[in-house]
Structure 1
Amino acid sequence: MTTASEAPTDLRTDAERLLRELAGPVARLREDQWIAIEALVVHRRRALVVQRTGWGKSAVYFIAAKLLRQQGLGPTVIVSPLLALMRNQVASAERAGVKAATINSGNMTEWEDVHADVAAGRLDVLLVSPERLNNPDFRDQVLPSLAGDAGLVVVDEAHCVSDWGHDFRPDYRRIRTLISELREGIPVLATTATANDRVVSDVAAQLGVGGGDTLVLRGGLERESLHLSVVKIENSTERAAWLASHLAQLPGSGIIYTLTVSAARDLASLLSDQGLAVSAYTGQTDTTERETLEAELLNNDVKALVATSALGMGFDKPDLGFVVHMGAPSSPISYYQQVGRAGRATERAEVILLPGHEDRQIWSYFASVAFPREHVVRQVIDNLDPVKPQSTPALEPLVDLNRSRLEMVLKVLDVDGAVQRVRGGWISTGQPWTYDADRYERLEQARDAEQQAMLDYQRTDGCRMEFLRRQLDDPNLGDGKAECGRCDNCTGQSYSSQVDATAVESAKARLDRPGLDLPPRKQWPSGMKKLGVSLSGKIADGPEPGRILGRLTDLGWGGRLRAVLDGPDGPAPSALIDGCIAVLASWDWKSRPTAVLALESDTHPKLVQSVAGELARIGKLTDLGVLRRRPDHPRVTAANSAFRVAGLVDSWDVPDLSGTDGPLLLVDLTTDTGWTFTCAAAALRGAGADAVLPFALATPK
């Protein structure tokens, strides 16, 4: 068994061997990787590692975890923010013989087994999402033993603790509590790929890894494979048409980033209609669907994923050929974090920014949902009881905050000790609480400065790579010029902003088309067998691609749909029927439906039946009536995909479909997760339906 007193050369030999098991037979430790490993394993220090994507930060903590286990220490706890990151890391760990498991919202059916493995000492590494740290059961039953027995604590993507913005995670601040409860001598490692001086200082302060004994390893950000360009096209439709015209010529496969979920979906639909192999990937994409989409990109089965920032940290594809941004992120840190995914194992990768005048409006919106003013926060505290728990939905009508902002504020107040999450909701603690106005003001000023920097990046006539490196306080930059020689400004070679008129007309026709696409689910949720349901893998009998009349958040149809769905039940107004007819008329289905069936509605049964009936009458379809739930199957309210599917399977009284040839149009009021349509389609296909075409009036997002 290795001990801390062994010669470092022997330990380095073990570390090099583990690296080869992780990364291949020719892999060799970088000097800074070894310095970090030695600091953690031999000297049991705290370390902050800021190194670019692809440098090998995960190798440091997996090797350190294995070496510490060999010394008899407990498991390593890795706090990791994204499911994609966790999946990649578990696979990497297994290659080096490291027994790893995760606890996150996507594997609820496995939690009990993982808890048992932790208690029995069968795990070398446990990866947890930051949100799990404040789950009452995990906090009270699992976390104390981890804090007492952990051999190493790793905070990955540690920049998430720093800012109010896209990547801010309130629960990251709870990590400081975990670290403070560690017994003396337990090493702590915080890592991130991109952070300027301000973020480095903030991370150190927030996570308690600062101080004179903390090892800080910070590397340069130069990436010789990246070729940076900016293409300025004012009109959003023309930008989409430009991308549709140029995407096929970009090298390999890559990522197209958008600033919003709706933009990702709309752009993916447009590009797909142009015959390009792309799919949308957002924070609203289900866990199992994400796994399938990530695999398709890794295997080059798609040209690109059109993604929000949900696809970023931890996604590992060394040969990613390009990153395109349709709209600029609000800070150089976010921008470099995303473009750094490209060209890690290729000689050349294209990085293209297509900024829009609407970017600043989107930045302003996200800034507006930052931490609220003091009187609003105190309103939350004042409406909580010290004994009787209050759920978030019950609290929402009492405060001037929407659900997502309210949940964020509650998490921050929980970390600060003013409120506590318990079974059944939240309670106040009665502890005094101070509003840190100075901190929030500094963050607001920093955010404004970084937004201005992104505008300056678009306008600069100097080296774009040097500009980004200076914004991120690259320690390897001197005071003189450090031109990359590869960007559009350095080479004088830039993409033309001219767009073919035919391509613009095609894009305009597609974007103006009424209705929204409803992509079918591709994978059943994992862990279904533990819930008594024998569904797994790819969905073979699901619905065809569907359509939705509009989003409840749309400026156009949103208001009209909300008025109908929030109002009393009754026949559909003629304007609504006209909109549905327009959507069906533009539907590019393989075969026209021959029959229509309405899904039973608890709130608006007359409305959904009238829509289905009118579509049957106007389209001369067979009206099959209503697909009703069986009396012994209550309405499904579960949000988790596995539990939702388990509640939906075998829950309908399927009508007699004999004599019904051709596709069946299935009508529902709203769709969100898509599982109702998927499970209903499977039941109808099993009863003999040739195909099922889902159509919903609205989607909430």
Structure 2
Amino acid sequence: MNDLEKILQLKFGLSSFREGQREIIDSVLNKKDTLVFMPTGGGKSLTYQLPGVVLDGLVIVVSPLISLMKDQVDKLNNLGLRAELINSTIDNYDKQIILNDISKNDGSIKFLYIAPERLNSDEFLRIIERVKISLVAIDEAHCISQWGHDFRPSYMKLKGFLERLKLNNDFPIIALTATATQKVRADITLRLGLVNPAIFTTGFDRKNISLIVREISKKEEKLEKVSEILEKTPGSGIIYCSSRKNVKEVYDYLIGNGVSAGIYTGEMTGDNREIEQNNFMDSNYKVIVATNAFGMGIDKSDIRFVIHYNLPGSIENYYQEVGRAGRDGKNSYGVVIASFADTKIQEFFIENSYPTKQEIVDFYNYLYRDFSTGEGAGAKILKTYFVMASESGIVNDLKVGAIIRVLEKYNIIKRGLDDFETPSDFRGRGIILLQAKQNPASIKIDWSHQEALKAESYYKLEQIKKLLFYPSCRKKFILNYFADEEDLKKIGDNCGSCDFCIEKKNLGKQEVIDIVKISVFGLILETVKKFDTKFGIQTFVKFLRGSNDKKLLEWNMDNDQNYGALSDLTPELIQAVIEALMSLEYLYKSDGKFPLLGITETGRLAITKDFLLKNDNEELQTYLKIRLGTKSLYKKESNPKEKKEKVDTYEETYKLLKLGNSLDDISKLRELKLITIESHIVLLYSESKLGLSDIMKYTSFSKLKIVKDVINKELNGIVSELKPIKEKIENLGNKDISYFDIKLAIAMIDKKDL
């Protein structure tokens, strides 16, 4: 047994290191700046606490989480390692005792936990500069990044603090977080001034937590599913809801059904929140229903399930909250019972969290309305967000809070007054105007960065939608998102612990029946290529179904040869086909609130190289099967009698045609528009199911020749839309040539039959 393992056992009472801990500790002990990305409950605290025992000097731990500070300090003191904390819960008398003991520089205090807001007080800096520092640990390091999901302006002062300490000390810095994308990681390194940091990403595969997604939109069905989970799952759990209204709704339902439940929201008083949290921690409640205000610093080992009643806002939030289950290593569950409609709730939060430039300027003018240019610095405003929302015309107090945070970030205002400045009858925090009034055009706010932050939030929303609503291995998606390469290598083809992989495994050797023909995938690729990045998914769905949507008709899209080509398919199926093509990167969606559908180079290639779609057909069909959940579309090899082929819409038209029916007859028999049947004829000819003699019954060589001449001579052989061709033909006096004639001519040109 080496020295580190002895310390692990003797000081911390642990028998072995968790995965990745030893390597991180070695890095710190070698005095290297270190970045650690490890999920909640993965054992981050040990990676700086154990080095703190080995190294000579004081360990400073910067953390924004008051409850977590107290928990860590209590645990260290119980282990015989003196630890203290300085934050808003410590009065001046106790703080002075702590600072006096630190100033002795005798090692009596080994760990000091401190809130970032307290770092730059002159008194603290005077003392800490004379103390031997062994290590500085920055917990929740993502808070320093403006790209992070929990940016805190107070963290921006850390770099200056660290540089000042380094003048008299040589110590490593370890920055830790449970959630950080590549962009956030680069930001952390830059803003903390880390020098060639060793980077560790580990433990994001929470092997004992099964991730389950159930798409449910109706309130009654959601509540029934919650009851079912509670009945079947022993132990305690957390139910996260996106709004206080939903929290109350779920809480009342559970109480009404005799479930011992707690409730926790940010609007509750501090005392009530503490009572509810303690009751949950002491297992007086089976479950606690909460907004995302609950959970920071919670370390309850027997949480067996975390339910998301609504769509989480980002993968970072989702995985951090799920990670509160199964801390003891036993099997636990993360269940999402949201629906795609929940997207609207998150879009509402984004729109109100990132106000427009005009809204910020309007509110700025409201704050300074009683002052002339050059006046107002130091003025205090004692009004609640609700009052300011009403008076300013912003209306929404949620948006007012967001505007105030932006103004505070750029040091235009400061939230909160000192206690002696706040009237006893005022219940708000108050605002101090830090700058004198100036022309709004001169306000120093990085507007482009504000827009980029909003776009980043929409990107994160799109990623959580992909994780939860697109059929794929949930765990692989998460590991890719957090760039956990080591766990990705180990997970294999089937993680075995998410609903997608479990269902895929249960299918066994079942053979996939084509839910749609390969030609449908090809038709959609052709359509997207034609209107590349012009429309969103729903517009394409409406177009392919032949919708009479007003915009489609205004844009004359009803004259396109593919309009209504998939009119007999449901909107859900067409959307699923598009998503399947996106999952294999034939198509893609742009970022932002209104993403547009585009085609990739692979998608363009697949239009002419049909082997690409043929090679991926089984995976595409499997995607549709799991996405749509229609088990009857599968057949088992062992029982050929159970084979059930889906009717091919083109094949059905072909059969009726061969029986001698006219196109009008087929349209009536199939209850489809004539334009749809005409599109079937064009496609059947393109796929060589119909020959030249078959289609010449519906057109004439003279008409086809005119179309070809117009395309070659008037349009330089370029075909992007049908309408310009029709207009050119009519201008030449040929009004009897239909769109059907044009479609047939284009198909014949493509096949070199014309």
Which residue identity does 2:495 align to in structure 1?
Answer: C
Which residue identity does 1:460 align to in structure 2?
Answer: Y
**Which of 91, 94, 114 in structure 2 is aligned with 1:128?**
114
CA distance in 1, matches of 2:200, 2:500: 31
CA distance in 1, matches of 2:397, 2:197: 39
Which residue identity does 1:449 align to in structure 2?
Answer: Y
Cα offset, 1:355, TM superposition? 0.4
| Alpha-carbon contact 1:174-1:415 (below 8 Å) kept | no
Q: CA, structure 1 residues 148+48, in 2 after alignment: closer, same or farther (shift >3 Å)?
A: farther
CA distance in 2, matches of 1:176, 1:114: 24
Over residues 90-118 of structure 1, what are the superposed CA-to-partner deviations in whole Å (9 max), with x where a residue is unaligned?
Answer: 2221133232233444x25x343023312
Which residue identity does 2:432 align to in structure 1?
Answer: W
SS at structure 1 position matched to 2:210:
strand
**Which of 148, 166, 175 in structure 2 is aligned with 1:190?**
175
Q: Greater strand share, 1 or 2?
A: 1
Q: CA, structure 1 residues 47+67, in 2 after alignment: closer, same or farther (shift >3 Å)?
A: same
Cα offset, 1:201, TM superposition? 1.9
**Match status 1:426 vs 2:412:** no
Match of 2:500 in 1: 489
Q: Greater helix share, 1 or 2?
A: 2
Match of 1:322 in 2: 305
Paired residues for 1:454-533 under 5 Å: 454-476=464-486, 477-478=488-489, 482-492=493-503
SS at structure 2 position matched to 1:323:
strand
Over residues 359-393 of structure 1, what are the superposed CA-to-partner deviations in whole Å (9 max), with x where a residue is unaligned?
Answer: 22321222123344446556649839788523353
Which residue identity does 2:232 align to in structure 1?
Answer: Q
Match of 1:348 in 2: 331
CA distance in 2, matches of 1:83, 1:36: 25
| Alpha-carbon contact 2:215-2:340 (below 8 Å) kept | no
Match of 2:599 in 1: none
Paired residues for 1:78-477 under 5 Å: 78-105=61-88, 107-108=89-90, 110-121=91-102, 123-132=109-118, 139-143=121-125, 145-146=127-128, 149=131, 150-163=133-146, 167-184=150-167, 185-209=170-194, 211=195, 213-374=196-357, 380=364, 383=368, 389-393=378-382, 397=388, 416=410, 426-428=432-434, 434-476=444-486, 477=488
| Alpha-carbon contact 2:217-2:341 (below 8 Å) kept | no
Over residues 150-170 of structure 1, what are the superposed CA-to-partner deviations in whole Å (9 max), with x where a residue is unaligned?
Answer: 543322122233357863333
Q: CA, structure 1 residues 215+176, in 2 after alignment: closer, same or farther (shift >3 Å)?
A: same
SS at structure 2 position matched to 1:336:
helix
Over residues 592-620 of structure 1, what are the superposed CA-to-partner deviations in whole Å (9 max), with x where a residue is unaligned?
Answer: xxxxxxxxxxxxxxxxxxxxxxxxxxxxx
Q: CA, structure 1 residues 291+181, in 2 after alignment: closer, same or farther (shift >3 Å)?
A: same
SS at structure 2 position matched to 1:350:
strand
Higher RCO structure (Cα 8 Å, ≥6 apart): 1
Cα offset, 1:274, TM superposition? 0.9
Larger of the two Rg values belongs to structure: 2
Cα offset, 1:493, TM superposition? 8.9
**Which of 30, 38, 48 in structure 2 is aligned with 1:51?**
38
CA distance in 1, matches of 2:7, 2:500: 43
CA distance in 2, matches of 1:143, 1:120: 15
Cα offset, 1:324, TM superposition? 0.7
CA distance in 1, matches of 2:347, 2:145: 19
Q: CA, structure 1 residues 317+175, in 2 after alignment: closer, same or farther (shift >3 Å)?
A: same
Match of 1:505 in 2: none
CA distance in 1, matches of 2:340, 2:171: 50
Over residues 280-315 of structure 1, what are the superposed CA-to-partner deviations in whole Å (9 max), with x where a residue is unaligned?
Answer: 122334445444444433443321111222223432
Cα offset, 1:57, TM superposition? 0.9
Which residue identity does 2:483 align to in structure 1?
Answer: D
CA distance in 2, matches of 1:147, 1:362: 48
Q: CA, structure 1 residues 281+214, in 2 after alignment: closer, same or farther (shift >3 Å)?
A: same
Q: CA, structure 1 residues 25+335, in 2 after alignment: closer, same or farther (shift >3 Å)?
A: closer
Which residue identity does 1:451 align to in structure 2?
Answer: L
Q: CA, structure 1 residues 441+415, in 2 after alignment: closer, same or farther (shift >3 Å)?
A: closer
Cα offset, 1:191, TM superposition? 0.5
SS at structure 2 position matched to 1:191:
strand
**Which of 64, 70, 75 in structure 1 is aligned with 2:51?**
64
Q: Percent identity of the aligned residues?
A: 28
| Alpha-carbon contact 1:161-1:206 (below 8 Å) kept | yes
Q: CA, structure 1 residues 460+279, in 2 after alignment: closer, same or farther (shift >3 Å)?
A: same
TM-score between both structures, scaled by the size of structure 1 = 0.59
Q: CA, structure 1 residues 483+162, in 2 after alignment: closer, same or farther (shift >3 Å)?
A: farther
Which residue identity does 1:142 align to in structure 2?
Answer: F
Cα offset, 1:473, TM superposition? 2.3
Cα offset, 1:468, TM superposition? 2.1
Over residues 28-47 of structure 1, what are the superposed CA-to-partner deviations in whole Å (9 max), with x where a residue is unaligned?
Answer: 2357434433443442x322
Cα offset, 1:230, TM superposition? 1.2
**Which of 1, 20, 24 in structure 1 is aligned with 2:13?**
24
Q: Where do 5+ consecutive residues of structure 1 fail to align? A: 1-8, 496-701
Cα offset, 1:65, TM superposition? 3.0
CA distance in 2, matches of 1:240, 1:417: 45
Over residues 411-464 of structure 1, what are the superposed CA-to-partner deviations in whole Å (9 max), with x where a residue is unaligned?
Answer: 666665556688556353579974333433333223222212222223232222
CA RMSD between the two structures: 3.6
Cα offset, 1:258, TM superposition? 1.1
CA distance in 1, matches of 2:137, 2:358: 36
CA distance in 1, matches of 2:271, 2:144: 27
Q: CA, structure 1 residues 308+395, in 2 after alignment: closer, same or farther (shift >3 Å)?
A: closer
Q: CA, structure 1 residues 20+441, in 2 after alignment: closer, same or farther (shift >3 Å)?
A: farther
Over residues 483-523 of structure 1, what are the superposed CA-to-partner deviations in whole Å (9 max), with x where a residue is unaligned?
Answer: 2112222222999xxxxxxxxxxxxxxxxxxxxxxxxxxxx
| Alpha-carbon contact 2:19-2:203 (below 8 Å) kept | no
Q: CA, structure 1 residues 480+488, in 2 after alignment: closer, same or farther (shift >3 Å)?
A: closer
Which residue identity does 1:139 align to in structure 2?
Answer: S
Q: CA, structure 1 residues 376+79, in 2 after alignment: closer, same or farther (shift >3 Å)?
A: farther
| Alpha-carbon contact 1:332-1:472 (below 8 Å) kept | no
Which residue identity does 1:33 align to in structure 2?
Answer: Q
SS at structure 2 position matched to 1:167:
coil
TM-score between both structures, scaled by the size of structure 2 = 0.56
| Alpha-carbon contact 1:236-1:356 (below 8 Å) kept | no
CA distance in 2, matches of 1:139, 1:413: 23
Cα offset, 1:327, TM superposition? 0.5
Q: CA, structure 1 residues 455+391, in 2 after alignment: closer, same or farther (shift >3 Å)?
A: same
Q: CA, structure 1 residues 386+203, in 2 after alignment: closer, same or farther (shift >3 Å)?
A: farther
CA distance in 2, matches of 1:478, 1:299: 39
Cα offset, 1:325, TM superposition? 0.6
Which residue identity does 2:379 align to in structure 1?
Answer: Q
Which residue identity does 1:52 align to in structure 2?
Answer: P
Which residue identity does 1:466 align to in structure 2?
Answer: K
| Alpha-carbon contact 2:19-2:202 (below 8 Å) kept | no
| Alpha-carbon contact 2:147-2:456 (below 8 Å) kept | no
Cα offset, 1:17, TM superposition? 4.2
Cα offset, 1:188, TM superposition? 1.9
CA distance in 2, matches of 1:78, 1:441: 33
Over residues 37-85 of structure 1, what are the superposed CA-to-partner deviations in whole Å (9 max), with x where a residue is unaligned?
Answer: 3443442x322110122321111222233334xx2x3x33322233332
CA distance in 2, matches of 1:370, 1:48: 29
| Alpha-carbon contact 2:471-2:500 (below 8 Å) kept | yes
Which residue identity does 2:48 align to in structure 1?
Answer: Y
SS at structure 2 position matched to 1:455:
helix
